[in-house]
Structure 1
Amino acid sequence: MAHLICHPPEDTTQFVPKLHLILETIKSGISAELKAELLAGITEIAESHHPSGASMDELRDVWRGVLPDHRILCLTESATHTAMWHHYANNYRGVVLEFRCIDELDSVWLAAKPVTYPAQKPAIYTADGWAELMNLQNEEAIRTILHAATYTKSPDWSYESEWRIASFKRPTDTGHFSDYKFDRRELGAVYFGPMISPEDRLSLCLAARAFPEAKLWDVEIGMSREFSLRAVNA
């Protein structure tokens, strides 16, 4: 609060109404004596009162209501990263789907944003960051938390080279997952894992015929343990 009073931001609309009013009044011009009195009052309150946690509880309630309706689609830049195949493709027995971003189709993939892997945690994971959230309107605070939780990870996960698309549950959706259709032309390639079963590979090769732009690739593990690609003549 003291920092905001000394350095009121240009846009104060995201703050709770009382704080918004105080900051706009300060920006319109108050005397140095009144500002000093405000700061002294804040210090006195901080030293003599203990927070009840009501604001934090209210924010938690809003968060619990929002989270079940939140949807995240996770994508990656690479089709040949060994750890990714191990973690997300059934120990090399699955497949990777590559999607094409097509402007004229307004492909949803165009909305993807890259995940960042900062060495320093976002502010929301610190006490100072939570103090700032408490001064925001609940909707703005939730947007701030969602963005940080959705688009940042620790550096340990940087190998994923991840991109994400975030949205919310549609009125007709149930449960915690949503299925979205995509245009047949948007499937650009299918990569078959090096351990995929012959039966799965055959059935997927046949199914891929319905997608005119989809190229088929076998992913192979070389002597150096690196992945290589070989085109499939389907």
Structure 2
Amino acid sequence: MALGSADGKSIITREELELKTAQWLLKEDAASDQAFNKAAHAYLGKLHYKLYKYQQVLSSEAEKEKYLRLKRHLQKHEMSLSCPSRFNDPFDCQFAFPDDLDGELFMRCKNSLDAVWRVGCLTEHFDNRLMWSHYADSHRGICIEYDFSSFSPSLDRVVFAPVVYSSKRPEFTRELQDHLSHNQLNLQDRQYLTSALFTKDTIWKYESEWRILKGVHICKKYGAYLRCFMCHHLTQMPGCYQESDPYFEFTMPPISAVYFGAAINDSCKGQVAKKELQELCSRAGIPTFSMRLDKAGYAVRPIPE
């Protein structure tokens, strides 16, 4: 079902949505799928089904590939999904492990997420000043707007949900240790392992993050469908294919706008990059806006090009 097909008039808070997300990820009740889908549709409806990705534009000569990748993403409506280990928060996607956990088992669990998943991160707001500073090169980058109204996670074979912010990391239980050490993970175990990918420290709450998870551990027996829920082992097996590239280029929903940071014109290099990207967006029919600092308050405002 496309996200935009549900009634978005219901009122739901981010906190309520996170609670339903946590229940859905762990399948705590039989109606969790229906409850999560209804809540996600209603909440995204309030956002007009728009989510955003902040990106750096200016890069060194050694990082030129990043800029070329950004151009490809704008042309093809793509986004790079990356290994969880490449995130900027070392606690991200990590369980609370007991002190006496076997070292080999610890590394196996820690590395298994990279072996199975590629993850893309989005946010709910294009005018978040901290996000512009932290993820868009101190307002010298861009913010890409995606229209999720026709997005179908099931058709794209991805998991799509908001991040759950918590003061506690998911616990790596004794039962899970025993199952993992004996290669006897059941469906509930695999769902619990995946839930760590949607749990973050409350200090990151300002990001209002959503994530797209794509399985890259492909089994010849079952195909490419969400391998961590299907495969009995989290490591590579005979007859299975393991993706080694840390990135997966995922075709996103349509890009509906691009916002240029308020400081992108502060350098000649930024001016050249902005002009080039504006022309690229114009050819693709993507509206562009320039962010401007509010003259009186702490805010940034979009100005149509």
* Gap change, CA 1:188 and 1:108, over 3 Å in 2: farther
- Name the CA distance, whole Å, in 2 between partners of 1:78 and 1:154: 19
Q: In the alignment, residue 191 of structure 1 is paired with which amino acid? A: Y
1:53, distance to aligned residue in structure 2 (A) = 6.0
Question: Within 5 A, what are the aligned runs for 1:26-37?
Answer: none
* Gap change, CA 1:89 and 1:104, over 3 Å in 2: closer
Are positions 1:218 and 2:290 aligned together? yes
Structure with greater proportional strand content: 2
- Name the CA distance, whole Å, in 1 between partners of 2:297 and 2:163: 30
Asked if structure 2 preserves the Cα contact closer than 8 Å seen for 1:187 and 1:211, the reply is no
Query: Which one of the candidate residues 58, 64, 67 is aligned to 2:111?
Result: 64
The alignment's TM-score, normalised by the length of structure 2, stands at 0.49
* Gap change, CA 1:68 and 1:91, over 3 Å in 2: farther
Asked if structure 2 preserves the Cα contact closer than 8 Å seen for 1:192 and 1:217, the reply is yes
Question: Within 5 A, what are the aligned runs for 1:173-212?
Answer: 174-182=244-252, 186-196=254-264, 197-212=270-285
Structure 1: runs of 5 or more not aligned: 1-9, 11-51
- Name the CA distance, whole Å, in 1 between partners of 2:125 and 2:297: 18
**Structure 1 partner of 2:238:** none
Larger Rg: 1 or 2?
Answer: 1
Deviates most, 106-115 or 159-168:
106-115
* Gap change, CA 1:109 and 1:96, over 3 Å in 2: farther
- Name the CA distance, whole Å, in 2 between partners of 1:225 and 1:210: 34
Structure with greater proportional helix content: 1
Aligned residues: 174
Are positions 1:168 and 2:211 aligned together? no
SS at match of 2:176: helix
Residues 51-74 of structure 1 show CA distances to partners (whole Å, capped at 9, x for unaligned) of x966x8447435524424421100
**Structure 1 partner of 2:200:** 153
1:211, distance to aligned residue in structure 2 (A) = 2.6
1:172, distance to aligned residue in structure 2 (A) = 8.8
* Gap change, CA 1:105 and 1:71, over 3 Å in 2: closer
Q: In the alignment, residue 195 of structure 1 is paired with which amino acid? A: A
- Name the CA distance, whole Å, in 1 between partners of 2:297 and 2:114: 43
- Name the CA distance, whole Å, in 2 between partners of 1:75 and 1:135: 35
**Structure 1 partner of 2:128:** 81
The alignment's TM-score, normalised by the length of structure 1, stands at 0.62
**Structure 2 partner of 1:97:** 144
1:210, distance to aligned residue in structure 2 (A) = 3.3
CA RMSD between the two structures = 3.4
**Structure 1 partner of 2:162:** 114
* Gap change, CA 1:230 and 1:109, over 3 Å in 2: farther
Asked if structure 2 preserves the Cα contact closer than 8 Å seen for 1:59 and 1:138, the reply is no
1:132, distance to aligned residue in structure 2 (A) = 3.7
Q: In the alignment, residue 188 of structure 1 is paired with which amino acid? A: S
